[in-house]
Structure 1
Amino acid sequence: MLYLEHYKLEIISYLGVKDNFDFDGKVWIQTTCLHPTQNITLHSKDLEIKENEITVKDISSTDPKSVKTAKIEFDKDKDFLIISLEKPLAEDHKYEIFIQFKGKLDDGLAGFYRSSYSDKKNGEKRWLGVTQFEAISARRAFPCFDEPEMKATFDISIGRKDGYHAISNMPLLQTEPLLGAGKNSLHLDLLMGPLCTRIPLGTSARYAHLLGKGREMKSLHPPGITGIRGLLRSQSAEDAYLGDNDLKEKDGWFWDRFDSSVPMSTYLVAYVVSDFDHKTGVPIENNNVTFRIWARKDALNQVDFASEVGPKALEYFEKFFDIKYPLPKQDMVAIPDFSAGAMENWGLITYREAYLLYDPDVSSKMSQHGVASVIAHELAHQWFGNLVTMKWWTDLWLNEGFATYMASVAVEALFPQWNSLEEEAASNLLSVFSFDSLRTSHPVSVPIGDPKEIEEIFDTISYKKGSSLIRMMSLFLGEEVVHDLWESLTTEAHKDKILPANLTVKTIMDTWTLQTGYPVITVTRNYRKKSAEVKQRRFLRDIVHFKDNDNSCWWVPLSYSTKQHPDFNKTIPEHWLSCPDHKQDIVDIADEKDWVIFNNNMAGIYKINYDDDNWKMITKTLQSGDYHMIPTLNRVQLLSDAADLAFVGTLKYDVFFDMMEYLKSESEYLPWKTALGKTSGLTMHLKKSSIYGVYKDYMKKILTPIYEKVGGLAIPKSNTDKLDSIKLQVLVASKACKFEVANCIAHSQSLFKQFQENPNATNPISKDLRGVVYCTSLKHGGEAEWDFLWKRFQSSNVATEKNTMLNALGCSREVWILSRYLDWSLDDGKIRRQDSSTVFSSVARNDVGYYIAKNFFYDNVKKIFKHLLPNKRRISRYLASMSSQMTDEKEQEEFKQFIEKNKENFSDVKKGVEQSLETVKINIQWQNTHEAAISKILRKYSTV
């Protein structure tokens, strides 16, 4: 076993040399032997390793001694580079592993890859090199021990051509000429104390099974050498790099050398080589962290909002956690080609442009909210994920769940007028209720064996269910208790008598983190005795098997309010529904004529079904002028639960439609978002049926009053900061144009025509409503409208605006235009690779486009897979876009046969395939179960 301490990494990028996307590298890895071992196993993928120059040295004394290697092997399936030695390494000796390697900046958006943009002044294509290492792509950039618990310090040096510069996790120490550099580097490794953590290395078994024993943390630098870079000795002169690249006689090449890092995992290592420029963030009093926001020079005018939000969010987290951010700087960079939304690399956060850049003259208010949320999410990771890191990817949810939850808390503090904490809670829970009702969902703490499975768990469960669990825990324990995890939480909860003495937080949370799904709580009241029987069962959308023998159970925090005692802010539970018990009785719950509503403020991750009389009393209150006595989040839950329980047949659809009638008085965004989200499901199921016309009339009746109330497509009279009002207008306008309410279509076309006729004038369309107007105009227009918007997309310099247009371009009903658009989605010259799945989804959502998209996918699946490599996970987005709209057995059989025929390609996205197949099965079940009953209900309500 080896104890991993330190990396010295040198990379030379040849960006700026025509058509040369190579990079050369050397890595020195410093370790201490804990137990004798005769092989060293690292990760390496798609790198050219100079096997004859791999060396291992015993550096325990001032006279380093070589350790002879017996053979070098590669296990390509596991990405292993195995160094076998002639003799075992000696216990307590320090060793240095040296590897020289070569790689290529490809366009796969993983590892150390290339991105590009066009200079707006001269149209010249400019290149940059950027890293994206999460989850297992550091091995694509340099040989390393590429697992999250294997922390070490890093000294990083980047060689690059004049005209470019490099940034990395740590501050730049110095820039020096590349040729001849390294010859005078200091050999201070023997002065360095042990760094980071004890890590067992040296076997070909999967490392995670060996971790977690004998851990200890040391100071970053021993006394007396703080600030001195403990560089390991360079093994050779620079000509070892430059032999293949003929640069010996050329000036203008430099090393950018960076300070030693804090101990960190390889997936958080980052460096960018570019010609970008930056602005410095707004200084925060009593905070010495330097913030810089980087972007291509043409977009530098769009970084001001980020430069304000970033420092404020960091300051907020420092105060909230009472732990100072441990680095002296924080760079944030807007990358033109980026697979994820953003990446939390320590000290160097990388973003897709649309999630960092904001132009107040062009970008929507909703985009501004999105930028603030993503910045807060990534900065929260500097504590959750970077400072405290999961041992293995099984507990990714602790990273992503905490970051998601803390982002909403921070944005609420910084922008209270946006109401983002409440919206985030509702949106996350609604997503979880949908996704986690599939049998093919997964626990938040999901066992990961093969590292190829890791990518598939970056999903709704890890992010949104993780966040919802943390929120639930916070609300059932109270904010004052939440300062540590399970053990400390239990101690505090017992002290404050929040939990019974025999109940621990671990007991509760294990039922939520280690099993898939969530419960539906059925409340059956005995009105004469003023009591209620409360029981639980897992909620599944699989109608046929809903009542099967599923023995899942949860510790469920039960809070409730009644009409006489509407104490909805009390989220500390009055009762616990225990596990393995599935039911209990609650006495003295309410008077006979009072309703009861469980789950105050939607604090818990569960649905509630009531007996018929209780549902009727709740609905009556909603339809009266007293609906405000039920707070927003509980109105959201009532609408969501009624729709979902009707979907699975445990509640009559009449209850949901009765409840929908109250919306004529509702003016808040979240209940409308919930209700219209549920009708979207009905739209998908009914749009091919003979009763769609009746359904369309019903939707017009629901939407017409609220469309007029929000002002239709008019630009708001005041530039309000009330984000809920803007979001409600956008939501209602989108649905109104879809169902041909009032003048929505004609008004959209008129506004779009004004824009077409005078494109250089101020855009007459409200910034937030442009997506609605563009989509509606292309749907009801032709080639001229599409070509106009496509040219605007090509010339736009604002990523948020380009995203809006990208989605709207899929709204056309011209078959040939949609076919061409899909073809272009696989052409990097037309559509960035990061946006390929967005284009496909935008076409597949279109009633006409669905069939075109499905055939395109079937005909081009191998080409699509190749285009998406190495991140096959993105193919799941294609599957989800199609499967959500498949509603008959013929499509189902065709889909199954297609999957089987291409099973080799789909082998790395098994979860995505399983979830898509289950979705199709559920859709067909609904059609066979509900269509006739819905027809009868709609005829009743559309004429009322």
Structure 2
Amino acid sequence: MASDRDILPDHIKPLNYNLSLHNLQYGGDWKYDGLVKISSKVQKETDEIVINVKDVRIASAEVHDASNSAVASMKDVSYDEKNQRAHIKLSDRLKTGDATLVITFEGSMNDKMAGFYRAKYTPIVQANAGTPKVGDHHYMFSTQFEACDARRAFPCFDEPNLKASFEFEIEIPEDLVALSNMPEKSTNKGSKSGLKKVSFEKSPVMSTYLYAWAMGDFTYVEAFTERKYNGKNLPVRVYTTRGLEEQGRFALEHAHKTVDYFSDIFGIEYPLPKSDLLAVHEFAMGAMENWGLVTYRTTAVLFDEEKSDARYKQRVAYVVAHELAHQWFGNLVTMDWWSELWLNEGFATWVGWLAVDHLHPEWKVWSTFVAEGYQTALTLDSLRSSHPIEVPVKSALDIDQIFDTISYLKGSSVIRMLSNHLTVEIFLKGVGDYLKIHAYGNATTNDLWNALSNASGQDVRTFMDPWIRKIGFPVVTIAEEPGQITIRQSRFLNSGDPSADEDQTLWWVPVGLKTGEPAKVIHSALQQREDTIREIDDEFYKVNADQSGFYRTNYPPARLVKLAASASKLSSEDKIGLIGDAMALAIAGEATTSAMLSFVQSFQDEQAYVVWGQITTSLSKARSVFSDNKEVSAALKQFALKLVSPATEKIGWDFPEGEDYLTGQLRKLLLSYAAGAGHEGIIKTGKEKFAAYRAGDKKAINQNLRATIFNMVVSNGGKEEYEAIKDEYRTTTSVDGKEICLVAMGRAKDAALARDLLDFVLSDEVAVQDCHSGPMAIASNYETRGEIWKFLKDEWDGKMKKVRDSATVVMDRWIKSGLNQYSDRAIEQDIQAFFKDKDTAGFERSLAQASDYIKANASYKERDAKRLLEWLSANGYA
């Protein structure tokens, strides 16, 4: 309800924005002048205009009637900085009806990756003469308006359900390129020599956060859709700064096919006359779905066939699909208010993976989703400090922290659960109906449920509402009797101690029982606290077939042994779920680490990359928690070494021509993990390859093994190796090279080098968007992770101020990356005390989650250390 929202007065409804920017100043204050004409409907008489602004100063304002005659002018303007609004007092009272607000203003092209901002870069070829340059850096310019930053660029009614159409004009150097949501309409001479004015076609109605423009020394690669839209094949382009355009071809091939695919499955043609993708050199998020002009972090859209790690292929394909899905779900139909952000992000995540699976069935991406997306969501949602998928949001300024794992990954996981239940075909039929009904408007979660209920004939809202509006998820605990099982649901917390008040939700739980010989899936649902399933095959059964339901399952210990012996009947998703559940239950005290280790021992001959990924993730978690217990830590390292060595030695170092993508990913994973477990032969070979590489033989290291070998040599070296990778960071021309180097530098085992890295990532040499890569890498380094908390405290009012003053999301990533891995109660208490009197706006939720993680880790360590050591000793590892 509107009363639950802190929104603008409803006196004026915008209909169309005609925005013109000129007098752009490159350097100094980076100012520009603007004129915006907002065609509007005055819905209530008023003598004041309340409009959103931030870091924008209004110079004048007039109101014109339908005949373009001025009927009121600005008498005074005051700014509500806290709520990011300007109150424009008028000389005369406005009557209801049509009116045009004419506002002149001054803004700035900031360096905060929000609003209309500048991004610095170093060209790889000669830049055009008009490209802005200050010192050694050249600049491009683009916008980032989601969630509430259109107001940083121009005065506007910056709320998602105040949709309007947009026209745009900008004056730029004549040898540069301007882009916006719509195609270019005209180019004319500028106000002085060397400048031109570029204007764009009028857009359909959309929310302000989807409005976009960019300018710079851009070039592009182009393709066309295979389908025709209004009789034409649509142009699809990937734009980059000059010299990088060929690295956009992989994204381009996926983009035009994805546009056609979504047009088919939604039953609605792509609604705009063009689709542009733009690589932005400094970008806080992964990408942004601006309608018709999607912007991307460079590593999410560029791929160099000769230099890039193959793992970035899947990332590019997925991010392209995710953002293009938004062109329908989010842009054509937009959530009514930020509370329903999950409608945009959860759906785009699920259907993005659906598109990648359609284009690359050989990648088996749903297994990857279960290993990376689904498991990550379960881990975060097992915290007391989690939040429901649909979060009540009173002020839009609170929304940034909801752009998180719950909205994206839990949201997509429950959509996957629902689509599997209804069938993907019926689910997409309902989605298509929803999009047609609400096209060019706004919608709520209930609107989606209604469309899906009509398509399926089921009461979707009733069984899905608890998943969306309640916090957490269940663990299904199984008790066995001959020929039958009893299943019981209860709230799962990683602390293992939900109170009665915390355990009141009854979820609709799809059981998905896989059983029999040959195995088949029997579908039913647990909709009460407890139920009994009869006629069970005692030899083999597995609940939650293919991990389609969003919950954990707790089997009797003897059943895990039987499941391990029945691995041939389990899908990769089944195995990932069983291993992930075993580890999570050990942390919560509902099972033991030794049970998890016993289970994963049986997968020594596993061949699936995604399963090995979950094995190593679970082992790494145990090794991390017990890292300060020398006996347990050493024994776990021996366990890991024995487990991974046979598969690693078998797969070797070479990448045969024509090898499939997943085998290549498995090689990297096994080599990395074996080296981390102390495999002397692997480490020796890695050092030899690195020495040859440094001596000038750049082919000594396969492009897919840069991260593996760089990590390996820094982890097993000293300052010399660390400095060599720092030099590599400074000289690499690979689009993914800098990210790889920062992570590798975090593997140094010397505290002084860890501190140096933390200093380095906050220097001008590292883009703010990448500075969290340092703490992220150090956090997984058992020897030096304590340096992160020391650094945060020591530099809070010093170097960390740069992070806090940049995008809020970057500070939030420091907290998430740097603090979640501790397992020491004293550190948790120190964190609480330190932040007690600090302004934590924008990352307070992540601090609460870090506290939950640390306390659960500490309890797990205290509870399980003794019996874990006993098991490791009994099995010859200690």
CA-based RMSD:
2.0
Other-structure match for 2:206:
264
Say yes or no: does 1:470 pair with 2:470: no
C-alpha displacement of 1:447: 0.7
Other-structure match for 1:577:
526
> Gaps (5+ residues) in structure 2?
1-10, 128-135, 431-447
C-alpha displacement of 1:278: 1.3
C-alpha displacement of 1:555: 1.2
CA distance in 1, matches of 2:352, 2:17: 32
Inter-CA distance 438–751: structure 2 relative to 1 (3 Å threshold): same
Q: Deviations over 1:725-783 (max 9, x none)?
A: 1221111111111111241111110000000011xx44211222210100111222233
- Which of residues 42, 45, 66 in structure 2 aligns to 1:36? 45
Other-structure match for 1:131:
143
> Gaps (5+ residues) in structure 1?
180-249, 622-626
C-alpha displacement of 1:175: 0.7
Say yes or no: does 1:493 pair with 2:456: yes
Alignment of 1:505-904 (within 5 A): 505-527=460-482, 530-545=483-498, 550-564=503-517, 566-568=519-521, 573-574=523-524, 576-578=525-527, 581-588=528-535, 590-591=536-537, 593-621=538-566, 627-691=567-631, 692-711=633-652, 714-720=653-659, 722-758=660-696, 761-828=697-764, 830-862=765-797, 863-901=799-837, 903-904=838-839
Say yes or no: does 1:926 pair with 2:871: no
Other-structure match for 2:17:
7
Runs of 4+ in 1 over 6 A off after TM superposition: none
Number of corresponding residues:
837
SS of equivalent residue, structure 1 residue 30: strand
Say yes or no: does 1:311 pair with 2:256: yes
- Which of residues 234, 240, 254 in structure 1 aligns to 2:196? 254
SS of equivalent residue, structure 1 residue 811: coil
Say yes or no: does 1:47 pair with 2:47: no
The structure with the largest alpha-carbon Rg is: 1
C-alpha displacement of 1:547: 7.3
CA distance in 2, matches of 1:110, 1:488: 35
SS of equivalent residue, structure 1 residue 729: helix
CA distance in 1, matches of 2:378, 2:68: 64
Inter-CA distance 699–13: structure 2 relative to 1 (3 Å threshold): farther
C-alpha displacement of 1:508: 1.0
Query: AA paired with 1:293?
Result: V
Alignment of 1:285-434 (within 5 A): 285-286=227-228, 288-434=233-379
CA distance in 2, matches of 1:40, 1:19: 32
Other-structure match for 1:84:
89
SS of equivalent residue, structure 1 residue 543: coil
Inter-CA distance 770–437: structure 2 relative to 1 (3 Å threshold): same
Q: Report which stretch shifted further, 296-305 or 24-33.
A: 296-305
Other-structure match for 1:145:
157
Q: Report which stretch shifted further, 836-845 or 445-454.
A: 836-845
- Which of residues 60, 65, 87 in structure 2 aligns to 1:58? 65
C-alpha displacement of 1:567: 1.1
CA distance in 2, matches of 1:811, 1:432: 26
Aligned residues of 2:789 and 2:819 also touching (Cα < 8 A): no
Inter-CA distance 104–417: structure 2 relative to 1 (3 Å threshold): same
Other-structure match for 2:118:
114
CA distance in 2, matches of 1:549, 1:469: 21
Q: Deviations over 1:154-196 (max 9, x none)?
A: 01001112232211111111111222xxxxxxxxxxxxxxxxx
CA distance in 1, matches of 2:565, 2:684: 38
Q: Percent identity?
A: 29
CA distance in 1, matches of 2:23, 2:614: 50
Q: Deviations over 1:303-342 (max 9, x none)?
A: 2212211111111111111211111111111111111111
C-alpha displacement of 1:819: 2.4
CA distance in 2, matches of 1:549, 1:475: 28
SS of equivalent residue, structure 2 residue 331: coil
Aligned residues of 2:609 and 2:666 also touching (Cα < 8 A): yes
Inter-CA distance 11–673: structure 2 relative to 1 (3 Å threshold): same
CA distance in 2, matches of 1:370, 1:535: 38
CA distance in 1, matches of 2:282, 2:730: 15
Q: Report which stretch shifted further, 542-551 or 254-263.
A: 542-551
Aligned residues of 2:110 and 2:117 also touching (Cα < 8 A): yes
C-alpha displacement of 1:698: 1.3
Other-structure match for 2:437:
none
Q: Deviations over 1:333-391 (max 9, x none)?
A: 11111111111101111111111111000001111111111111111111111111001
Inter-CA distance 13–35: structure 2 relative to 1 (3 Å threshold): same
Query: AA paired with 2:118?
Result: R
CA distance in 2, matches of 1:613, 1:120: 61
Other-structure match for 1:938:
872
CA distance in 2, matches of 1:436, 1:329: 39
CA distance in 1, matches of 2:586, 2:516: 24
SS of equivalent residue, structure 1 residue 861: coil
Other-structure match for 1:191:
none
Say yes or no: does 1:435 pair with 2:380: yes
Inter-CA distance 612–819: structure 2 relative to 1 (3 Å threshold): closer
CA distance in 1, matches of 2:201, 2:227: 25
Q: Report which stretch shifted further, 127-136 or 812-821.
A: 812-821
C-alpha displacement of 1:886: 2.0
Which structure has greater strand proportion?
2
Q: Report which stretch shifted further, 790-799 or 251-260.
A: 790-799
TM-score relative to the length of structure 1: 0.86
Inter-CA distance 549–431: structure 2 relative to 1 (3 Å threshold): closer
Q: Deviations over 1:792-814 (max 9, x none)?
A: 22222222122212211222234
Inter-CA distance 305–63: structure 2 relative to 1 (3 Å threshold): closer
Aligned residues of 1:299 and 1:798 also touching (Cα < 8 A): no
CA distance in 2, matches of 1:20, 1:37: 36
SS of equivalent residue, structure 1 residue 45: coil
Q: Report which stretch shifted further, 927-936 or 112-121.
A: 112-121
SS of equivalent residue, structure 1 residue 286: strand
Inter-CA distance 844–630: structure 2 relative to 1 (3 Å threshold): closer
Query: AA paired with 1:45?
Result: K
Q: Report which stretch shifted further, 368-377 or 544-553.
A: 544-553
Query: AA paired with 1:149?
Result: N
Inter-CA distance 54–644: structure 2 relative to 1 (3 Å threshold): same
Q: Deviations over 1:855-882 (max 9, x none)?
A: 2111112332443424223222222233
Query: AA paired with 1:95?
Result: A
Inter-CA distance 14–35: structure 2 relative to 1 (3 Å threshold): closer
CA distance in 2, matches of 1:583, 1:315: 46
CA distance in 2, matches of 1:20, 1:451: 28
